[in-house]
Chain A
Amino acid sequence: MKTPSVPLKKKKRSSVWVTLIPLYLFTLLFVAGPLVYMFVLSFQTRAEVWGVVNQFTLDNYKNILQPVYLNTFVESFKLAITSTLLICAIGYPFGYFMAKLSPAWKKRVMLLLMIPFWTSSLIRLYGWIIIFRANGTLDKLLMGLGLTDSPLKLLYTYPAVVVGMVYALLQFMILAVYSSAEKMDWSLVEAARDLGATPLKAFLTVTLKLTLPGLLSGVILTFIPSMGLFFIADILGGNKVVLVGSLIQDQLMKAHNWPFAAALSVVLMILTSLMISLYKRITHTTELEGIL
């Protein structure tokens, strides 16, 4: 059915553009505006007592290079890498196996996944406090099994924060991997096997390659937040673990050094964009797998 695409009425007079006004206004005013201001702020000078002086400086960026702050970046990165690797190790098989379930079971597992996903992240973290607290569930269990004699006091330690991160972000990985494994053409794996590939080889050359967008998307979806989720470090790590996110929050709320907080955010933002563009470069896609 090919209709001649000659418009009978002049399309230019269409008033549909009106519908774009809210989005344009909102985007420019509340997304672009604040981000531009963050950039500007990061080059301004902090006032003696309160506020910001409009004087150009690079000190805020130089400040980041101070060992204390640089160290925070490094530590935060290490934590993010550790959590992300663990999340990959746990989440990838989950998403992969899930995609192989029967349709009915897929639905059930999905529903089961959705409930923790929709549950407030604070509630779920709170559960870990109960587990990790001295003489808490974990200590009781381990002591009951005779594995330890005294409480481990895991709460407010580094491992506790890692567990919290993994727990809070695991679903993103699962869903991302699942979404690409689900779409995968499994007959390709069969073909590889028919042609004599070992299961491992078939997995590495076919499955892994085809689910790579999902895996990488999952990495981004977990790595980026894990540098900013300061409340996890706060609740499960006490003051011992400081993320870039915690640093930004401290500079904003406690030290009131807004320009420095802005500079930290700009750096974090650049790192984030680098990761996303790297993802796009590798997978040749524009949208992250598993986000909507």
Chain B
Amino acid sequence: MKNRTKLPNIYLGVVMAVLYLPIVLVVIYSFNESKISSVWGGFSLKWYETLFKDRAMFEALGNSLVLALCSSLGAAIIGTLGAYGFTRVKLRSKSVVEYISMLPIMIPEIILGMVFMTFFSLIGLPFGMTTLILAHTTFCVPYVYMLVKARLVGMDKSLGEAARDLGASEARVFFDITLPLLVPAILSGMLLSFAMSLDDVIISIFVTGVNVNTLPIKVYTQIKTGVTPEINALCTLMLGVTILLVVLSNVLGKIGKPKAGKHHKQTGELCGPGQTQ
């Protein structure tokens, strides 16, 4: 019995180690004194210094944060209202519109980037923050929509009905009863959207303006043109933020009923019965 359970665990451990290897290396080399990342020149914080003096990098970070915030907020509003509306109103166009609105996470990013770029230029929108926000909101809506919809399906409808029977208006029912119950799902969706937006390279490259850089675009061009250890430092800091976010989403998950964050990728679905170990 013992032997049978050991091998899988070793396998899990090895894959996990490989998964973390590149990340760990980036962190280690961010403290490397030497500029050549294959040579260890002793511990140093100088790349962090360089990083903090890099104005353009901070500007890109600022852009990215604004972008992620705006698009996750936009997606939260559109996705939540949309998911709610569809549970309350029967429309013949529902399935078609739902299908189309989910397309952005089904089709390859490269196509999305391409269609946004050509479409924005067709309607004459100047490329820059506006186009970035519009594009990112579009691909964030499905995340919020799906999480909120999943929550709505499992929700007790009688609460809203009771309120309506007692004379509450639609708006009142939504804001006083439904919305508070949806908050964890909306937050999860926003967090997911935020992360997706913050990480996006492909779509951003197509819809950004000449003088607007997001952090991933900046990192991408830097990695392409030549490696500076400054990127290591940046990556380490971003990693720190990521870990913080994951922990935060886990805490959120413990407070709110459904688990927050990307956990929904799997646990959002109901666990099947009879899981014998």
| A residues at B contact (CB < 8 Å) | 8, 14-20, 22-24, 26-28, 30-35, 37-38, 41, 90, 93-94, 97-98, 100-102, 109-131, 133-137, 140, 167, 170, 175, 178-179, 182-187, 190, 224-225, 227-231, 234-235, 244-245, 248-249, 252-253, 258, 261-262, 265, 268-269, 272, 276, 288, 290-292
In the docked arrangement, what's the CA distance between A110 and B261, Å?
Answer: 12
Q: Which residue of A lies closest to B150 (CB)?
A: A292
| Residue interface bits B226-270, CB-to-A below 8 A is 1, else 0 | 010001100100110011011000100000000001111110111
Query: Do residues A27 and B38 form an inter-chain contact, with CB atoms below 8 A?
Result: no
Question: Shortest CB–CB separation between residue B63 and chain A, in angstroms?
Answer: 15
Secondary structure at the B interface, as helix, strand, loop or mixed, is helix
Question: Shortest CB–CB separation between residue A131 and chain B, in angstroms?
Answer: 6
Does B163 count as interface, using CB distance less than 8 angstroms? no
Query: Do residues A131 and B202 form an inter-chain contact, with CB atoms below 8 A?
Result: no
Does B78 count as interface, using CB distance less than 8 angstroms? yes
| B residues at A contact (CB < 8 Å) | 8-9, 11-12, 15-16, 19-26, 29, 37-38, 77-79, 81-82, 84-86, 88-89, 91, 97, 100-101, 103-111, 114-119, 122, 134-135, 137-138, 141, 143, 145-147, 150, 165, 170, 174, 195, 198-199, 201-202, 205-206, 216, 219-220, 223-224, 227, 231-232, 235, 238-239, 242-243, 245-246, 250, 261-266, 268-277
Assuming A31-B138, A231-B201, is B8 touching A100 (CB within 8 A)?
Answer: yes
Query: Do residues B271 and A123 form an inter-chain contact, with CB atoms below 8 A?
Result: no
Secondary structure at the A interface, as helix, strand, loop or mixed, is helix
Question: Shortest CB–CB separation between residue B128 and chain A, in angstroms?
Answer: 16
User: Which residues does chain A contribute within 8 Å of B245, judged by CB atoms?
Assistant: 118
Contact of B202 among A93, A230, A290 (CB under 8 A): A230
Query: Do residues B111 and A265 form an inter-chain contact, with CB atoms below 8 A?
Result: yes
Query: Do residues A122 and B22 form an inter-chain contact, with CB atoms below 8 A?
Result: no
In the docked arrangement, what's the CA distance between A230 and B109, Å?
Answer: 10
User: Which residues does chain B contribute within 8 Å of A90, judged by CB atoms?
Assistant: 15
Query: Do residues A34 and B265 form an inter-chain contact, with CB atoms below 8 A?
Result: no
Query: Do residues B8 and A97 form an inter-chain contact, with CB atoms below 8 A?
Result: yes
In the docked arrangement, what's the CA distance between A145 and B4, Å?
Answer: 31
Q: A115-B242, A269-B111 are in contact. List 15 more A-B contacts (CB 8 A).
A: A19-B84, A26-B137, A27-B101, A31-B104, A120-B242, A124-B23, A127-B24, A127-B25, A130-B26, A136-B37, A175-B266, A185-B273, A187-B274, A224-B107, A268-B110
Query: Do residues A26 and B146 form an inter-chain contact, with CB atoms below 8 A?
Result: no
User: Which residues does chain B contribute within 8 Å of A37, judged by CB atoms?
Assistant: 115, 118-119, 122
Assuming A124-B22, A126-B26, A182-B275, is B202 touching A229 (CB within 8 A)?
Answer: yes
Contact of A127 among B23, B141, B165, B198 (CB under 8 A): B23
Query: Do residues A114 and B198 form an inter-chain contact, with CB atoms below 8 A?
Result: no
